[in-house]
Chains A and B, each alone.
Chain A
């Protein structure tokens, strides 16, 4: 208590602290400055107008996403002065949680991209804006109908298709030629080819994992034109139906009897396990998406392969397809819906969608871009694969369609867990699927 004898007293010290802290506190409490008016492009005497900022949060597909998308934002901004688009690119793993936090906190971005599953979730809690009237039918008529349909809930369009990814069966033409095998068309063809080509660990016959592969088998067991939804009209799960059992039995026979899949398919991941094996020439056949030719040309250019339609259970059936569509949505919380719609129209004009397709190696959502010779360059060796996928897009089924958007992830988990138990040999196909269907129905309060 003798501080007063030793220089600065406590009272003086407190006064100094208060004097230092006060301006800092005031600065922290000052509201942000209002937007500076944009400089007008013509006429020095034109009055300054307020600029509306529209915020776009984008999930990245690759390391070029940021500069490529920023280029689009810059072009939009420089083409007019009333709306300023800002961009924030985040990684997919964190993206949904980031959006959730921002939306829950009342700070949603104006527009954001995401999975088609998120669209259903956000629409179900009224956090996505219906876009039909904002964008107009004339604009929307330029898009692939399957893409628009995938983004429509109860007659309202809640997003623009952004990344459409139909699938195909990639097979090694060199290995097929050695064994004199024809292009696989049916489940039986695939199984036969896998048996003939399987030579582990050098080459595995067929890539299997419990996520996407189930879908390929499911739609193959039904054929194009049939009801491809795993839900009945009243919301019951159909995964244990006759076709569902046939689909999983086909995969299970390859895993447990033929042993022509890679090891531990119950635990496999498409991107981490199956695609790398195919690129490393350790897999004879793989079902995956429209991005694969670009990856192969970059990472394994000497790989000899071709692309076939997804196999069907019966050769008389037409081949169906599926996609996992991504989309760009507008938040219901957006206070600048019309301005955000202008940005959407710019982002989704033909030129920008062509650039996006060429940059990302994706299939164009716009019909005109899919027919553009700049996209289907006759000199590009990948063009035949692009043509294949553009055709397949027309009849692709949206896997995210569900009457239960709030439990989409959990329902999928029930199915993949059932497949894992089946492929671990713990239960039979019928038992595993029946248990999963029951679990799913009970989750929704259905018996």
Chain B
């Protein structure tokens, strides 16, 4: 009796892997140095951080016994932690919101033709081109209570009578830290928004004009939807970077006065290297790592859905 042709069984995973290896052996060998570096400089420190967070740690940062939640318990009892977390949230989201509010209109202006546009584009990049340390030190001197140029100009203009110690008051010190972070980061957002704006096909605006749409309608119904994905990606990246913003705050204020300008990442440093509490320091690092991983997953999924949508 004649039978239909038997389906060819799909090759097993091991056979697939052997075929893949045979065809691309060289490529995989050339990947080995990169993989080793990845393992040594990224995987090992992360695994070490996680295991030490769950270990007892002495003042020499040596893990003595694994398998304890003592560090997390000690962290939970830290009275300062709620303040630090609030300040971190305010810093990260506050700076990003300000960056968006400033950068997007700036990008729209740079997207139009005007004399000196190229020069303006170059000047915008200066804060971004400066190393964070240089920016922070420069602004620290500008904000200096005795010798800062800000006080000098404000008093010359008659705006203040007595010099203000900007970095000595908790509120103004925090505002100064946010200002420096925003100032340093505006360039990236502006350039990215500008690239997004320049990627919008001009014919949709032509079509809108033919339909009699006003400038506001064009902006609301054409520009913003087209820029949605750029907004999301830039905002998420900036939030992640703001969470990790150690250099600006450390150089400007070191988290002072009285921890009022500390964020999680500077507090981790203080816990470990000033207070010698390495265990809670590792625990807080793990917590921050988890938060940033969540943001990264959100970013990756959004980016992936954006690419699939195309």
Contact = CB atoms under 8 A, between A and B. Distances in A.
Interface of A: 1, 10, 13-14, 17, 96-97, 100, 103-104, 121, 124-125, 127, 201, 262-264, 266-267, 273, 277, 406-407, 409-410, 413, 417, 420-421, 424
A201 B163 CA distance: 9
Given A263-B168, A266-B257, A100 B60 contact: yes
Interface stretch (B43-51, B191-199, B273-281): B273-281
Contacts of A17: 29
B60 A424 contact: no
A406 B145 CA distance: 35
Contact of A263 (B146, B170, B256, B257): B146
Nearest to A420: B258
Contacts of A263: 145-146, 163, 165, 168
5 contacts: A10-B25, A121-B276, A124-B59, A277-B146, A410-B276
B163 A421 contact: no
B60 A103 contact: yes
Contacts of B169: 264, 424
A1 B23 contact: yes
Contacts of A424: 169-170, 257-258
Contact of A266 (B25, B26, B62, B168): B168
Contacts of B25: 10, 14
B286 interface: no
Contacts of A125: 58-60
Contacts of B58: 125
A277 B145 CA distance: 12
Interface string B232-247: 0000000000000000
B125 interface: no
A201 B148 CA distance: 14
B258 A406 contact: no
B61 interface: yes
B167 interface: yes
Contacts of B167: 264, 267
B146 A267 contact: no
B45 to A, nearest CB: 13
Contacts of B29: 14, 17
Q: Which 10 A-B pairs have CB atoms at the shortest separation, nearest pair first?
A: A264-B168, A264-B165, A267-B168, A410-B275, A10-B26, A420-B258, A263-B165, A417-B258, A267-B257, A406-B59
A121 B58 CA distance: 11
A273 B137 CA distance: 16
Interface of B: 23, 25-26, 29, 58-62, 145-146, 163, 165, 167-170, 256-259, 273-277
B59 A413 contact: no
Contacts of A421: 258
Nearest to A266: B257
Given A263-B145, A417-B258, A409 B274 contact: yes
A239 B248 CA distance: 34
Contacts of B257: 266-267, 420, 424
Nearest to A267: B168
A97 B273 contact: yes
Given A14-B26, A201-B146, A413-B275, A267 B62 contact: no
A12 B259 CA distance: 62
A266 B169 CA distance: 9
Nearest to A272: B144
Contact of A104 (B61, B258, B276): B61
Contacts of B145: 263-264
A56 B200 CA distance: 64
A262 B146 CA distance: 9
A97 to B, nearest CB: 6
B208 to A, nearest CB: 52
Contacts of A103: 60
Given A104-B62, A125-B58, A406-B276, A267 B23 contact: no
A332 to B, nearest CB: 11
A96 B275 CA distance: 12
B275 A407 contact: yes
Max chain A Cβ within 10 angstroms of own Cβ: one of B165, B259, B274: B165
A177 B26 CA distance: 86
Given A263-B165, A424-B258, 7 more contacts: A104-B62, A121-B276, A201-B163, A264-B168, A410-B274, A413-B275, A424-B169
Nearest to A9: B26
B249 to A, nearest CB: 15
Nearest to A17: B29
Nearest to B167: A267
